[in-house]
Amino acid sequence: MKINNELIIYTDGASKDNPRRGGIGIRFIIPDFKNGTEKYYDFNEGSFVGASNNEMELYACIVALEMSLKEDLSRLRKLTICVDSNYVFKNIYNAKYIWPKNNWLSSEGTPLENVKHWEHLLRVMNKFRININFEKVKAHVKGKNKDLHNDKVDKLATEARDWVIKIPFNIINARKKYSKNQAKKGCVKITDNQISIRIITCTGYKKHKDLFKYKYVVISEENQCYSMLDWVYYNLRLHEGHSYIVIMVLRNKIPFIKKILADITKNSRLDLS
């Protein structure tokens, strides 16, 4: 790419479940103000197994900036990244100035998601000698107001997401979820009563090694939340596929396991599918 004074980059990420996989789409736009024209360079990549939509939105920005650094930027005076992701746009400031000071913890005191991608993005941004401006564009607009560039990167990301060749993106220990229900945050009512759960996935945090996030399914048949999937935190490492009798508690509206009463894996053979 021959870059003059300005570079505009549109990025987008896409993800879908069953099984979860994602893709990214990028369009580099180089305006030629003298002739009133633009040059386009398109790129996409996927299909990334285990990637969430937010991860793909961040990863698209990272890849776009890393690709830009390979070009001659000596004349570059302005660089703008256009995203339709509220997650990226609203949190750039937090990632630069707020979250690092709070040790990458949320206002509720729980570890933030996708920290490694945010840190990666900031490292790449710091390699540029000019400020990088993020602009929010509307997604999936139809008719005369449709943003053709955003529409293009959306198609690129979706195409990459659905490619046959799969690329591992995250390594997550997981077991069969034992339920047809989709996981929904906050769907399980937290009470002082004991409840039996089966652990499906475990997420650890590099910066907070004494805390783990678990996706679980309720296996207490007498419980009104039977077969529902939700998330809970705990300060000890539990085993995926194991079933536990636990007592949960809310801390700043965040569910935590307060106490493990028993590991009932050998006595738990329910199939909730």
CA 85 to chain CA mean position, Å = 11
| CATH number, domain 6-168 | 3.30.420.10
Cα radius of gyration rounded to whole Å, the chain: 22
Give, in order, the Cα–Cα distances in Å from 132 to each of 61, 141, 210, 254, 268.
11, 25, 35, 35, 54
Domain boundaries, given as residue ranges, for the chain: 6-168, 194-267
- Per the CB < 8 A criterion, the answer to whether 184 and 193 are in contact is no
Measuring CA to CA, which residue among 216, 219, 221 is closest to residue 233? 216
- pLDDT higher for 1 or 26? 26
pLDDT digits (tens, 9 = 90+) for 234-261: 999 999 889 999 999 999 889 999 999 9
The three-point CA angle 62-63-69 to 5° equals: 95
How many residues are listed for the chain in this entry?
273
pLDDT at 121 over 80: yes
CA 273 to chain CA mean position, Å = 27
Residues 40 and 30: their CA atoms lie apart, in Å, by: 7
pLDDT at 269 over 70: no
pLDDT digits (tens, 9 = 90+) for 39-97: 999 999 999 998 999 999 999 999 999 999 999 999 999 999 999 999 999 999 999 99
| CATH number, domain 194-267 | 2.40.50
pLDDT at 270 over 50: no
Residue matched to tokens 């990863």: 59
